[in-house]
């Protein structure tokens, strides 16, 4: 192989590497050019932050948590469904919303009961088991009938749809759907749906 052939081979290799690098980079659809690049075709921290921010903005702006009587709503966590191909802890979305709700001072989050009848903090019931245990000062243990029942429930779903585009790329859409239900009346007081779209090489996998 002479020098000219070696040089041609090097240029071809460099070009292949360059262009394959360009095509495999996942991108957000519709984002400004400076913010187009996405780290992954799957759901990442940035996606959860965006979905949570938009949901909280919508929730506070809509006034669904506002009460005229000066009291605060009590919200329990309902069912969160992960209908994607990825193993996701839905708390990555819900925790951000819980923090924002508590910071807004418009509602309490109920920890004594959540979806499936479980408490989100088992110590609520563990401490109650100490009733009549002489080792503990009984006045510091919760009395009967102290727990509040929620008047609202926050439930949701994360959905995924994958499609192949006309130019043989992979389009992945994620829907972040949330619903706030009035448990007394049984109706929805707020709903939100945020969509994140990513496009990338067909060779990329989302999980």
Partner 1 sequence: MKLIKSLLALGLIMFFTGCTQNQPSINSKITDPHIIMENGSMDGWLEFQTVNYLTREDGLMEVEARFRNYSSFDKTVAYKINWMDKNNFIEKSILSKWVVVEIQSQRGLTIHGISPSNRIKDFQILIQETSTNDDLRKNSYHKEYTNN
**Interface with partner 1 (CB under 8 A):** 31-35, 37, 49, 52-53, 56-57, 60-61, 63, 65-66, 96, 99-100, 103-106
29 or 31, CB closer to partner 1? 31
Q: Shortest Cβ distance from residue 117 to partner 1 (Å)?
A: 30
| Main-chain dihedrals φ then ψ at residue 164, nearest 5 degrees | -100, 130
Angle between helices 91-104 and 45-62 in degrees, nearest 10: 40
103 or 140, CB closer to partner 1? 103
Which of 61, 80, 33, 86 is CA-nearest to residue 177? 80
98 or 158, CB closer to partner 1? 98
106 or 119, CB closer to partner 1? 106
Other Cβ atoms closer than 10 A to 25 = 13
Q: Shortest Cβ distance from residue 128 to partner 1 (Å)?
A: 32
73 or 160, CB closer to partner 1? 73
Q: Shortest Cβ distance from residue 21 to partner 1 (Å)?
A: 16
- By CB neighbour count within 10 A (0-12 exposed, 13-18 middle, 19+ buried), where does 68 fall? exposed
Which of 47, 147, 153, 59 is CA-nearest to residue 101? 59
Q: Shortest Cβ distance from residue 61 to partner 1 (Å)?
A: 5
Q: Shortest Cβ distance from residue 100 to partner 1 (Å)?
A: 5
Query: Could you give the 3-state DSSP secondary structure of residue 9?
Result: helix
């Amino acid at each position: 192989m002479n020098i000219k052939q070696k040089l041609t081979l090097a240029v071809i290799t460099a070009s292949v590497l360059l262009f394959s690098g360009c095509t495999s980079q996942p991108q957000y659809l519709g984002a400004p050019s400076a913010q187009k690049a996405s780290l992954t075709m799957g759901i990442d921290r940035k996606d959860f932050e965006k979905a949570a921010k938009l949901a909280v903005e919508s929730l506070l702006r809509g006034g669904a948590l506002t009460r005229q009587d000066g009291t605060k709503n009590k919200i329990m966590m309902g069912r969160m469904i992960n209908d994607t191909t990825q193993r996701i802890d839905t708390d990555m979305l819900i925790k951000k919303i819980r923090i924002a709700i508590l910071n807004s001072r418009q509602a309490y989050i109920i920890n004594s009961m959540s979806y499936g009848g479980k408490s989100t903090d088992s110590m609520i019931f563990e401490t109650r088991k100490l009733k009549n245990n002489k080792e503990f000062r009984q006045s510091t243990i919760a009395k009967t009938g102290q727990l509040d029942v929620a008047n609202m429930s926050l439930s949701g779903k994360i959905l995924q749809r994958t499609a192949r585009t006309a130019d043989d790329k992979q389009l992945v859409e994620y829907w972040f759907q949330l619903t706030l239900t009035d448990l007394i009346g049984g109706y929805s007081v707020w709903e939100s749906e945020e969509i994140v779209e990513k496009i990338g090489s067909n060779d990329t996998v989302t999980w």
